[in-house]
Copies of this chain bind each other. A is one copy, B any other.
Amino acid sequence: TRNIDLAVVAGDGIGTEVVEQGLTVLDAALAGSDVKISTTELDLGARRWHATGETLTDADLARIKEHDAILLGAIGDPSVPSGVLERGLLLKLRFALDHYVNLRPGKLYQGVTSPLADPGEVDFVVVREGTEGPYVGNGGSVRTGTPHEIATEVSVNTAFGVERVVRDAFARAQARPRKHLTLVHKHNVLVHAGHLWRRTVEAVNADFPDVTTDYLHVDAATIFLTTNPSRFDVIVTDNLFGDIITDQAAAITGGIGLAASANINPDRTAPSMFEPVHGSAPDIAGQGKADPTATVLSVSLLLDHLGLADAAAKVEAAVAADLAERGSRVRSTAEVGRELAARVSG
């Protein structure tokens, strides 16, 4: 038997509801196998912050590091000042656990209606850098709140950080039929960061000669995501551009209710983290209305990361079958989870 220790951060709002279904499907996927999952639930998020003022303590982090992976629901609540939980918890996890590959598939499943009139076949994956760029928190302000305020945000990009994520993206492109990698940046304006990215893609390409590459400015990328999303295979981009285009990618492939993500530490020096792209959606929390599909697809990415490719494929196939047949049927969060689990088992 193989034991997998999973840290579960259900978090806020619909986080609890969707994670519950994610775990149900995970259990179904591993039933009858020799893999045992044990879960540790961590009380992190808005409730904990209100109660204790803590977002993520050193002790929390140490505890999380003892696990093989993390399943996260959603973090954030309007009652908490903007940035507190994002910077103090979600991004702190990504940075502290060195999740430098933020993997976000953009796939239009059969049966899913895209808001695009003619989307074509959409099946790409965004490799978003997760530990650098404008997300590093190197900003500040002086004369704050006065007419003379100056606020800065510094995007930090290192050869080390860019190269490792570009390498990962090339490897993913090489493993796919089309073997194509698109760099998205804005090197005509952000010349220093942009040229580092560009030079790195050119250099690493030498080690992946069968992968073709192209380049798009981020503004042009939003156009192609609208007019011709099937042109994309693998996209590699910085933390902020990746944030933006993956939400757009989710929108064109059926919405954030379906968009999965993996925050991966490819060197496995710390646990990777799997989470739906959507947020805590306080407006529908506690009502059993949230679609757990994005979380279930994140569970598929989790299984894949743990080397359980068959189980991962079973979960994705269950989702694909469910989407192909769901039509306009309204189901509760638990019903969707139960039906997905049944498909995985059956």
Say yes or no: is A28 at the interface (Cβ < 8 Å to chain B). no
A190 touches B134 (CB 8 A): yes
> Roughly how many angstroms separate A159 CA and B159 CA in the complex, as a whole number?
34
Say yes or no: is A174 at the interface (Cβ < 8 Å to chain B). no
Say yes or no: is A99 at the interface (Cβ < 8 Å to chain B). no
- A161 CB to nearest chain B CB (Å): 9
B141 touches A196 (CB 8 A): yes
Say yes or no: is A177 at the interface (Cβ < 8 Å to chain B). no
Residues of B within 8 A of A247 (CB): 219-220, 222-223
A159 touches B153 (CB 8 A): no
- A65 CB to nearest chain B CB (Å): 24
Residues of B within 8 A of A156 (CB): 150, 152
Assembly of this chain: how many copies? 2
CB contact list, A136-174 vs B, under 8 A: 139-141, 143, 145-160, 163
> Roughly how many angstroms separate A83 CA and B192 CA in the complex, as a whole number?
10
Say yes or no: is A135 at the interface (Cβ < 8 Å to chain B). yes
Say yes or no: is A188 at the interface (Cβ < 8 Å to chain B). yes
Residues of B within 8 A of A148 (CB): 158-160
Which one of A76, A243, A256 has the highest number of Cβ atoms from chain B below 10 Å of its Cβ?
A243
Residues of B within 8 A of A63 (CB): none
Say yes or no: is A240 at the interface (Cβ < 8 Å to chain B). yes
Say yes or no: is A292 at the interface (Cβ < 8 Å to chain B). no
A155 touches B155 (CB 8 A): yes
CB contact list, A74-94 vs B, under 8 A: 76, 82-83, 86-87, 91
> Roughly how many angstroms separate A198 CA and B145 CA in the complex, as a whole number?
11
Interface pick from A11-19, A110-118, A306-314: A110-118
> Roughly how many angstroms separate A187 CA and B252 CA in the complex, as a whole number?
24
Residues of B within 8 A of A45 (CB): none
CB contact list, A210-242 vs B, under 8 A: 218-220, 222-223, 225-227, 240
> Roughly how many angstroms separate A218 CA and B239 CA in the complex, as a whole number?
13
Q: Contacts A159-B149, A193-B153; is A255 near B227 (CB within 8 Å)?
A: yes
Known A148-B159, A189-B243; 19 more pairs at CB < 8 Å: A76-B188, A113-B117, A115-B116, A115-B117, A134-B190, A139-B155, A145-B199, A149-B196, A150-B156, A151-B158, A153-B157, A153-B192, A153-B193, A155-B155, A219-B244, A219-B246, A222-B222, A222-B245, A223-B247
Q: Please provide the 3 A-B residue pairs with the shortest distance between their CB atoms, ordered closest to farther.
A: A219-B247, A226-B251, A222-B248
Q: What are 15 A-to-B residue pairs whose CB atoms are below 8 Å?
A: A76-B188, A82-B187, A115-B117, A134-B153, A149-B159, A150-B157, A151-B157, A151-B158, A151-B195, A186-B243, A189-B240, A222-B247, A223-B251, A227-B255, A244-B244
